[in-house]
Amino acid sequence: MDFTFNEDQTAVLEAVKGFCDEELAPKAQETDEAGAWPAENVRKLAELDLMGIPVPEEYGGLGMDFLTWSAVGEELSRACTTTGAVFGAHLLAVAPIMMFGTEEQRQQLLRPLATGEKIGAFALTEPGAGSDAAAVATKAVLDGDSYVLNGTKIFISNGGEAEIYVIITSTDPTRGARGMTAFVVEKGTPGFEFGKDEKKMGFASLPNRELIFTDCRVPKENVLGRRNAGFLVAMRTLGVGRIGMATGAVGLARAALEAAVPYSHQRHQFGKPISSFQAIQFMVADMATEVDCARLLTWRAAWMKDQNMPFEKEAAMAKLYASEVAMRATTKAVQIFGGYGYTREFPVERYMREAKLFEIVEGTSEVQRGLIANQVLRELNH
Amino acid sequence: MKIVVCIKQVPESTEVQVDPKTNALIREGVKSIVNPVDENAIEAALQLREAHGGKVTAISMGPPQAEEALRQALAMGADEAILLVDNAFRGSDTLATSYTLAAAVRKIGEVDLILCGKQAIDGDTGQVGPGLAERLGMPQVTFAIELEAEDGKLRARRVLDDFFEVLEVKLPAVVTVVKQVNDPRHPGMKNVLKAKRAEVAKWGLDELGAEAKQAGFDGSPTQVIRVWPPEKRSEGKRIEGSAEEVVEELAKVLGEVG
């Protein structure tokens, strides 16, 4: 395992850092407070060729690896959590089409996603199907050459703004997980509408919307993967998505650390900067160590994916640990800022609200622990 | 339009240390970047090319590692890059630098416009652009904040201390730009990767057909006697409050100073 970046990766990361520092970070607070889709930032991600980092060049991507995707995603999230979240949610449409798309689907769908001409989203969650992913009730019924979709998805990141949606449906309810099918549905398809946009504790500018399907007719060619193999599409996508969530959490935790340290030097109490007090130093030490650990777990999972090794357990570990690190690091950052940390004058209270999302989304911490335990208990059962 | 942009690689920090013995900047351990206002010159060139078509050539005189600065120009969208590199160019002052750059422009041949940043953040002289114009016998416009080209002419708004000045010059001309002229674009990653693989031409004294005695140390009459960081000024006093309070406090402070 070698995390030394080659020349291409270094050049890309350097260019991305410049963009993040000059364009994203100065407007991050504003971007959140606007409570509106960050259209300009998203357009810039496309202009900078960042929407298709792991997509092969022949489909309009950069043809780089997931490790690079993760390193870039961390920078974006560090500078602007909202933009990082859009970037992460977009991957959830890119990845399954990359993994399961036919040549035609890749040409038609992957290309506009990779160039950022179109934004993607992934929809699994329903009112009755969250941690229990196999309980999907959105039905897809074959009728001639097309399927008819009925049902409702909720909390869908990039919902309403995205053009291309990967939808997990139930095609054979009697077979549970083995009766699910993934579809690609484009915005504007008759019978496909958007409902409620959730008002959330954080990430006010990231849409989490309801998708409503009412007799929505979708051609058979839009099945992604095989019929009744949708659970596999969902699980593989979530596997990659966990690396994505871990990436966002690392970026957020780092933002908290990078806000807290300069403040601890500036803030004087008892005639000294508070950074001279051991209580603060120990918090900084824990934050820095945990951010590093979280990043290493995330990069390992991304690297394993790049090596075509099974990475589900490692991705779950990275997602679990990074999201809990984000929660701890942002809480400590608020503590270091003291009373000011509780005000909206500084970004750390927002970071703390945002961190909570990572412990819930894309499989709660409990689901990750279950997944990890399952595998460890099996592996070590001699 | 055929445009040549002259750029310089500089240390990133504005607080570089000076070697007290050699009077040279200590560059070790300091990241190198494209002189910031030179990025504006590149952007101005790209915008003119987008409006009128043509070609943008970035050139830089410097050590081999200055190639990185030229790759940044290529990543932003310059069509080609030429590094003027030769031991004979070492120790150039602005006179020798403009000599070498002028020789490169002549070798490039037909050129409509030469763009430079108004000055570099390391040397801060602002002399190379005007020097280049003199060497080439071209009209010059310094401190441009707006550029507009049409029919072989260029109209430029200059920003001066107290006023603007609008000049029209016949092309070819040399123009130096200020920071406010535009917002340099961030390069897309495809261009960044392409630029890494692109060829950067390297021209030395021989390729330029230049005279050794006019280049580098030999062509540089400037002697730097001593370089030192400015003395740090003591921190000012900030008076805050309502207008009345501020005035009263200010009067008191001024009274104390005498």
Sorted by where each starts, the structural domains of chain A and their CATH numbers stand as: 7-119 (1.10.540.10), 121-230 (2.40.110.10), 232-379 (1.20.140.10)
- The residues in A 45-104 lying below 8 A from B, measured between CB atoms, are 47-50, 53, 62
Whether residue A163 lies in the annotated active site = no
- The full set of domain ranges for chain B reads 2-229
- The residues in B 72-101 lying below 8 A from A, measured between CB atoms, are 75
Helices (H) and strands (E) in chain B, counts: 7, 11
Q: Are strands B80-84 and B55-61 parallel, antiparallel or unpaired?
A: parallel
Min Cα separation A47/chain B (Å): 6
Of B115, B116, B123, nearest in space to B220 by CA: B123
Catalytic-labelled residue, pool A74, A210, A354, A362: A362
DSSP string, B77-116: T-SEEEEE--GGGTT--HHHHHHHHHHHHHHH---SEEEE
What residues of chain A lie within 8 A of the CB of B75, using their CB? Answer: 15
B72-104 per-position pLDDT tens digit:
999 999 999 999 999 999 888 888 899 999 999
Report the chain B residue with the minimal C-alpha distance to residue A11.
B192
A12-53 per-position pLDDT tens digit:
999 999 999 999 999 999 999 999 999 999 999 999 999 999
% of chain B with per-residue pLDDT over 70:
97
Q: What is the CATH number of domain B2-229?
A: 3.40.50.620
Complex ipTM, two decimals? 0.88
Of A273, A244, A246, A242, nearest in space to A260 by CA: A273
Min Cα separation A249/chain B (Å): 24
Q: Two tokens at A321?
A: 């640990």
Contact A62 B188 (CB under 8 A): no
Pick from A15, A47, A53: which is nearest to B192 by CB? A15
B197 inside 8 A of chain A by CB: no
Give me the residue label for tokens 């961190």: A355
User: Which of B34, B74, B186, B189 is best to mutate for the A interface (most A CBs within 10 A)?
Assistant: B189
Q: Two tokens at A379?
A: 């592996």
Contact A48 B196 (CB under 8 A): no
The per-residue pLDDT for B31 is 84
pLDDT tens-place values along chain A, 382 residues long: 888 999 999 999 999 999 999 999 999 999 999 999 999 999 999 999 999 999 999 999 999 999 999 999 999 999 999 999 999 999 999 999 999 999 999 999 999 999 999 999 999 999 988 888 888 999 999 999 999 999 999 999 999 999 999 999 999 999 989 999 999 999 999 999 999 999 999 999 999 999 999 999 999 999 999 999 999 999 999 999 999 999 999 999 999 999 999 999 999 999 999 999 999 999 999 999 999 999 999 999 999 999 999 999 999 999 999 999 999 999 999 999 999 999 999 999 999 999 999 999 989 999 999 999 999 999 998 7
Mean pLDDT on B108-129 = 89
The per-residue pLDDT for B30 is 80
Assign residue A59 a region: left if phi > 0, alpha if psi is -120 to 50, beta otherwise?
alpha
Pick from B188, B191, B196: which is nearest to A8 by CB? B196
B183 inside 8 A of chain A by CB: no
Min Cα separation A76/chain B (Å): 14
A164 inside 8 A of chain B by CB: no
The per-residue pLDDT for B5 is 97
